[in-house]
């Protein structure tokens, strides 16, 4: 029931947005100021080991606190700028702020865990991504093992040659690569052979009913098996209840994230989790 209402609310919101497509236009033009000013910020969603329930990392998720429009979520502005060079400015802002955050946590004495960053296809293929992230890693003394790039599989299908070049360069930095929303990209699986992928993230579409729907259960099991036989890590996203987690544990999924463990949280709360992790180990 609640979910249904949530979805309807969202649809109404989207309809309002497209009616006022002028608003999109203005948001797009307001973004450079947002980047330069202090309107963008990141939340961090914990990634948790299915086996030990320990936090093993975070995903950085972008938010935009607009002075007039209020809090704007990424699905409402990333798609608008995804094909333009503005996505590179946004992507660089995110990379810089994640690396700064890691170095701040390190300076505060925390034991660091990897942070995953969502990277758009346009940015991946821009030829500036690797040099940019390397420069910041050097500047702040953060190694590649502490970062992970999440890209959706659709990004890898259209531009094979370009993607191989981009990912080969990226691989040298030791940043891990994960396929976000895995299973929904409508693509051939052969890219898993061609590209240096480290992690598969099972999309919410299959997780939502994995504990009650036979087909979804079969797809989740198949993805977990596929990941394991290729030597990849497998993560379930958007885990919302105990039944889903039970299913994932039973089928030896490695890691999960979702509201069941925690919503995306402010950096200072993520720091608290890092400190707790330290005290149990
Ligand atoms: P995504 O990478 O698949 O991120 C997961 C989304 O699922 C996040 O929404 C997160 O808040 C939400 N989520 C987490 N747990 C649950 C759950 O248990 N239930 C449900 N229903 N949702 C859950 P968010 O933060 O609104 O981000 C949406 C999308 O926007 C992301 O999907 C990603 O594609 C994009 N995005 C977010 N941050 C960035 C960024 O810095 N750069 C780029 N290029 N894209 C971003
Ligand atoms: Mg993601
Ligand atoms: Mg995802
Ligand atoms: Mg998703």
Q: What does pTM read for this prediction?
A: 0.91
In the structure encoding, which two tokens stand for residue 146, read together? 């502490």
Grade residue 4 by pLDDT with cuts at 50, 70 and 90.
Answer: very low
Provide, for the chain, the percentages of residues in helix, strand and coil under a 3-state DSSP scheme, each rounded to the nearest 5: 50, 20, 30
Residue 158's pLDDT is what? 72
Per-residue model confidence (pLDDT) at position 281: 42
Mean pLDDT of the residues in the chain: 89
Kindly give the number of the ligand 1 atom that is closest to the alpha carbon of 120.
Answer: 44
Residue 278: pLDDT band (50, 70, 90) is low
Q: According to the model, what pLDDT value does residue 5 have?
A: 46
| Mutational test site, ligand 1, from 86, 94, 118, 150, max ligand atoms within 8 Å of CB | 118
Residue length of the chain: 281
Q: Return the residue whose CA atom lies nearest to atom 17 of ligand 1.
A: 238
Cβ-based neighbour number of residue 230 at 10 Å: 13
**pLDDT (tens digit per residue) in 132-185:** 999 999 999 999 999 999 999 888 877 778 888 888 889 999 999 999 999 887
ipTM: 0.97
d(CA 196, CA 189) in angstroms, rounded, equals 13
- Residues 57, 116: contact at Cβ < 8 Å? yes
Name the band, by pLDDT with cuts 50, 70 and 90, for residue 1: very low
Tens of pLDDT, residues 38-93: 899 999 999 999 999 999 999 999 999 998 888 999 999 999 899 889 999 999 99
> What is the model's pLDDT at position 155?
87
């Amino acid at each position: 029931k609640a979910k249904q209402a949530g979805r309807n609310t969202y649809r109404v919101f989207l309809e309002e947005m497209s009616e006022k497509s002028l608003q999109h236009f203005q948001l797009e033009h307001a973004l450079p100021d947002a980047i330069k000013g202090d309107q963008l910020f990141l939340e961090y969603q914990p990634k948790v080991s299915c086996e030990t329930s320990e936090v093993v990392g975070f995903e950085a998720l972008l938010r935009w606190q607009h002075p007039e429009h209020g809090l704007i979520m990424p699905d409402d502005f990333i798609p608008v700028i995804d094909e333009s060079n503005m996505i590179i400015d946004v992507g660089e802002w995110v990379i810089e702020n994640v690396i700064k955050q890691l170095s701040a946590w390190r300076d505060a004495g925390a034991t660091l865990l990897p942070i995953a960053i969502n990277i758009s296809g346009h940015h991946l293929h821009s030829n500036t991504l690797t040099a940019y992230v390397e420069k910041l890693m050097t500047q702040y003394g953060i190694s590649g093992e502490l970062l992970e790039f999440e890209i959706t599989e659709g990004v890898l299908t259209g531009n094979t040659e370009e993607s191989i070049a981009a990912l080969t360069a990226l691989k040298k930095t030791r940043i891990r690569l994960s396929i976000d929303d895995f299973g929904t990209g409508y693509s051939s699986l052969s890219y898993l052979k061609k590209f240096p992928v480290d992690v598969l993230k099972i999309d919410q579409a299959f997780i939502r009913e994995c504990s009650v729907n036979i087909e979804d259960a079969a797809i989740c099991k198949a993805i977990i098996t596929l990941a394991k036989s290729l030597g990849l890590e497998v993560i379930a996203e958007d885990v919302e209840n105990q039944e889903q987690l039970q299913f994932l544990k039973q089928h030896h999924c490695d890691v999960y994230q979702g509201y069941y463990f925690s919503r995306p949280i402010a950096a200072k709360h993520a720091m608290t989790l890092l400190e707790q992790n330290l005290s149990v180990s």
